[in-house]
Structure 1
Amino acid sequence: MSLTDFSTINPDGQIHEDGPLAYAYLPAPTVQSHAANLMTLGNGDLGCVWFGGTQEGVADISIYFSTLQRLPEGQWAEKWSPAQQLSSDSTRSEQNPILYRHGEELWLLYTAQHAGNQDTSEVRRRISIDHGSTWSDPETLFAATEHGGVFVRQPPVQVGERLYVPIFRCATVPGQKWVGDFDDSALMVSTDGGATWTEQIIEGSTGCVHMNVAALADGSLLALYRSRWADWIYASRSEDGGLTWSVPEATELPNNNSSIQFVSMNDGRLALIYNHSQATEQTERRLSLYDEIDDEGLDSSVDGPVVFEPVATGEPGVQKAFWGTPRAPLTVAISSDQGRSWPARRNLEVGDGYCLSNNSREGLNREFSYPSIHEGQDGALHLAYTYFRQAIKYVRIDPSWVSAPEASDHA
């Protein structure tokens, strides 16, 4: 039985075995779940956060948290814990949560925006000192600026005395709704443990978002990016601990304007999870990520997907964000040369990846997306991702699965 043979989704958190794979659908009390992130907690348990509610952008979207216990013998529990709601702002859609271990503290970072207006987004933080059992009150860590909203997706990175939080800046033209045409990347930098921050803009990064930074075996830093243009995964590098970065350049791997994530493994290799998909001239596109909602919530006047053909700007070099490229297959890749090539690739999920609608209530959305990848203390790769926006699916694999001789479904 393959991972895609299930006609129903049962989000009960129960771990199932399927040959070399273990999987579960995380417990969720909401009709929509999206944007998972994983982290090993200070007590050895595995934590996962995501957002859930009616639909992305609606004010009932909140942050949820579940854990998988690491047993004293080193084995994993058979079931994820019930979901704990960690945010409750009734006026904003709270999205893109991240877990980060900062010394003895566990940080939860997440965004909060008005409806589908990412240019209003701010980044909030809660802190736990008991592995997520209790949390401090929410605080605004990075407020929206005159430039636009501040968004996060990828985990912070400590390099020497410098703590980097990758952000992307969501700008828009006055009088127009945000669609992502002008988004770019930056790092929020702290040298005092997070008490104060400065912004470091990544030059030449317009259209490159979700900056994912990891240290390489040679001491340099690699950043991989999602592309608003739905063309390629982009990469930039730093040889001086993050003080300066090369201009992002396209890699050999496609991107569909959807999230990616990679991790630097203990053996020096890199493991990446992404959608092996990109837009073509024949790809249908939608108006924006939020074309099914308005400032009050779900837009009752919208009946089905809104197919969109952008008007030419007439300005050379001006690109438009491309929304709607299928979010499938979901692929795991391994690099042995510090991210310069990714020869080992294997599809984890296959399907049509339909995402011209975010509607999970009626089963319209069929995407496998927004993956998280984390190397556990057990040496396994722990994966979590959006499954049809109806659930967060968790999968545990040995890294050798990616290039196993019996692999029959390669990207």
Structure 2
Amino acid sequence: MALLLCLLLLSAGRVSGNDSFSEQTDRSRLRAIKPVILHSEIIPEPASVPSAHASTIVETGDGILAAWFGGTYERHPDVSIYTSRFKNGQWSEPVKVADGVQNESQRFPSWNPVLFKRDNGDLILYYKVGPSPSTWWGEYKISTDEGKSWSAMEAIPRGCLGPIKNKPVIIPGGKILYPTSIEIVGKWNVYMEMSNQDLTDWEKIEVDNNGFDAIQPSVLFHKDGALQILCRSKNERVVESWSYDNGKTWSPLAPTELPNNNSGTDAVTLSGGLQLIIYNPVTSGRNKLAIAGSYDGKIWEKLIDLEDQPSGEFSYPAIIQDKDGIIHVTYTYNRERIKYVQLKL
């Protein structure tokens, strides 16, 4: 019996040692990654639009398209959705493409645009309209010409909201999976939605929030077919959930090792399998913004600081990878403009 116990303990020690060695190997590999900034600038905006926030970005066949909401200030009824295109090294003049006008006497602010390209090449612009995040509803427009023009507004079916801040993804089988959440007084709650690519047959998928106040998930793909969401929270940590059945069910939310300052993040799975998150690497303030990397979604290492200032707000980022492997980032710059950064690893 003593010999058996000894062997079991030795075996456990070897497993633990292997796990520790694997973690150190991953961290060493991640620390060896050296992102290079290729381009960085503030996207021009008309002087008549003094505030900008909550950007989104997508690759098109005619350059990189960004969108954000802008107006007098967040929640003002004049806040609308604007787009600008990065082509041949320059950003185009921003164009207003959506607003919250209801009729001649009523207008609500617009919020949180999300750009997405479906398999047929159409662009979809999802956004919110309403007096506040607790009362808003989801709308969308479709472009068949790379975002140069947009269809009339369509409402997302009642009971669903569409993507809240971060881009949806297409999962095996062709459906669109939407990372979404609600913000009601006293409670935040993450969940998921799914629809066909023609934006029919919407369904809502519950996620056990496990006592966390969390919103604004983003979706990552893993080599074993698992899906992971990373979410903003009020709990000083980015929180996560996992699905092993193509998004039909999800594990209870749990904290990651990543700090969170109750501000939005975004994440992307690169073509080679590396996971990236862009986030504020602090638990308070929004004066720092960074990108971290992971191979397994568990072990994270900060790869680069994009902003590290004594004060200011650098927040609500968006991140994508284009067909050539270049990484594109946008984020709020002091609530006045949207900043664009282009990187390679």
TM-score above 0.5, yes or no? yes
Letter in structure 1 aligned against 2:184: A
Question: What does 1:262-277 align with in structure 2 at a 5 Å threshold?
Answer: 262-277=267-282
Pairing 1:157–2:169 present? yes
The corresponding residue for 2:58 is: 39
Distance across 2 between alignment mates of 1:126 and 1:349: 33
Deviation, structure 1 residue 170: 2.3
- Using the aligned pairs only, state the percent identity: 30
Distance across 2 between alignment mates of 1:191 and 1:381: 28
Extract structure 1 runs of 4+ deviating beyond 3 A. 142-145
Letter in structure 1 aligned against 2:56: N
Deviation, structure 1 residue 151: 6.7
Distance across 1 between alignment mates of 2:290 and 2:302: 10
Structure number with the higher helix fraction is: 2
Question: What does 1:320-359 align with in structure 2 at a 5 Å threshold?
Answer: 325-336=284-295, 338-353=296-311
The corresponding residue for 1:100 is: 116
TM-score (norm 1): 0.70
Distance across 2 between alignment mates of 1:93 and 1:100: 21
Deviation, structure 1 residue 88: 2.5
Deviation, structure 1 residue 191: 4.1
State the SS of the aligned residue for 2:187: coil
How many residue pairs match? The answer is 300
Distance across 1 between alignment mates of 2:162 and 2:116: 18
Distance across 2 between alignment mates of 1:191 and 1:50: 25
Structure with higher Rg: it is 2
The corresponding residue for 2:340 is: 394
> Any conservation in 2 of the 1:376–1:382 contact (CA below 8 Å)?
yes
TM-score (norm 2): 0.83
Q: Structure 1 residues 32, 143: CA separation in 2 closer, same or farther (over 3 Å shift)? A: farther
The corresponding residue for 1:215 is: 221
Q: Can you list the C-alpha shifts for 1:83-111, whole angstroms capped at 9, x where unaligned?
A: 01011324111010011111231100001
Q: Can you list the C-alpha shifts for 1:182-224, whole angstroms capped at 9, x where unaligned?
A: 1101112124632121111111255111111122222211100
Deviation, structure 1 residue 228: 2.6
Structure number with the higher strand fraction is: 2
> Any conservation in 1 of the 2:69–2:81 contact (CA below 8 Å)?
yes
Letter in structure 2 aligned against 1:369: S
Distance across 2 between alignment mates of 1:193 and 1:203: 28
Q: Which runs of 5+ in 2 are unaligned?
A: 1-35, 102-106
The corresponding residue for 2:4 is: none
The corresponding residue for 1:253 is: 258
Deviation, structure 1 residue 144: 6.4
Q: What RMSD, in angstroms, separates the aligned Cα atoms of the two structures? A: 1.8
The corresponding residue for 2:45 is: 28
Deviation, structure 1 residue 113: 1.4
Distance across 2 between alignment mates of 1:150 and 1:157: 12
Deviation, structure 1 residue 140: 1.1
